[in-house]
Amino acid sequence: MEEKLVAFQQLVKLFNEHGFSLYLVGGTVRDYLLNLPLTDMDAVTDATPEEMKTFLGGDYTFSKMGSIKTKFENIKFDITTLRKEEDYQDYRHPSKIHFVKTLEEDVSRRDFSINAMYLDKDLKLVDFVGGLKDLNQKTIRIIGCPDKRIKEDPLRILRAIRFSLMLHFSIDSELEKAMLDNIELLKLLTKDKVKQEIKKITNVENEDIAFIFNKYGINYLLDMIK
């Protein structure tokens, strides 16, 4: 078994010893299911940052948002407390977050179904939103109402494009319509945020990037890739 997964299972034991659970989540689970190399190790827990501080060292800079960074057995983990979010007010961040105790409450805040699956300590899949089906069908589908979710955070337009390009997946028709209908909202985001997202598009032919950027009328962003 890969070293990172062994470290995860040992970290789960530490959390369990203190009465808490820990699951892998998001891109980590997606890449595991696709047999891709694991880069980021993202996890969620029912422990709050304050509770984690009692048994786990790390960087607690963003603990108010429920996120901490730690190194365990020489593997870096990003761990986030299970949470739900209230309405977005600035096209990027929720107005308020609430720590919760169940995966069912946490999953609704996540963006795409293929990024909303969990793996438990035995590497058993927990999937509430049909993520595995979409993964098998090579489809990018957003959780909930596409128009509402894009308006919450227009950066999701670029995230959908990035995953589509890098994974060679198609974008669900309802999501695509919402992206096209709200494409002008990208101009409300900071240039740095947009640039950071576009820079994540790697190992993709320039012609493929140009084609999809032209399709969505965002050719003016192509210079950020250089």
Domains along the chain with CATH numbers: 3-133 (3.30.460.10), 144-225 (1.10.110)
* Length in residues, the chain: 226
Residue type present at position 120: D
Q: What is the dihedral of CA 83, 142, 153, 38, to 10 degrees?
A: 70
- Could you give the residue ranges of the DSSP H alpha helices within 18-125? 27-33, 49-53, 103-107
Q: Summarize pLDDT for 155-206 with one digit per residue, the tens.
A: 999 999 999 999 999 999 999 999 999 999 999 999 999 999 999 999 999 8
- Could you give the residue ranges of the DSSP H alpha helices within the chain? 3-17, 27-33, 49-53, 103-107, 131-136, 146-152, 155-167, 173-181, 191-199, 206-215
Q: What is the pTM of this model?
A: 0.91
135 burial level (CB within 10 Å; 0-12, 13-18, 19+): buried
- Range with the poorest average pLDDT among 1-10, 92-101, 122-131: 92-101
172 burial level (CB within 10 Å; 0-12, 13-18, 19+): buried
What residues have CB less than 8 Å from 98, skipping those under 6 apart?
Answer: 83, 84, 85, 86
Q: Please state the rounded mean pLDDT for residues 110-131.
A: 97
Pairing of strands 83-85, 97-99: antiparallel
Judged against a pLDDT cut of 80, whether residue 54 lies above it is answered with yes
What residues have CB less than 8 Å from 183, skipping those under 6 apart?
Answer: 157, 216, 217, 218
More confident residue, 211 or 86: 211
pLDDT of residue 95: 53
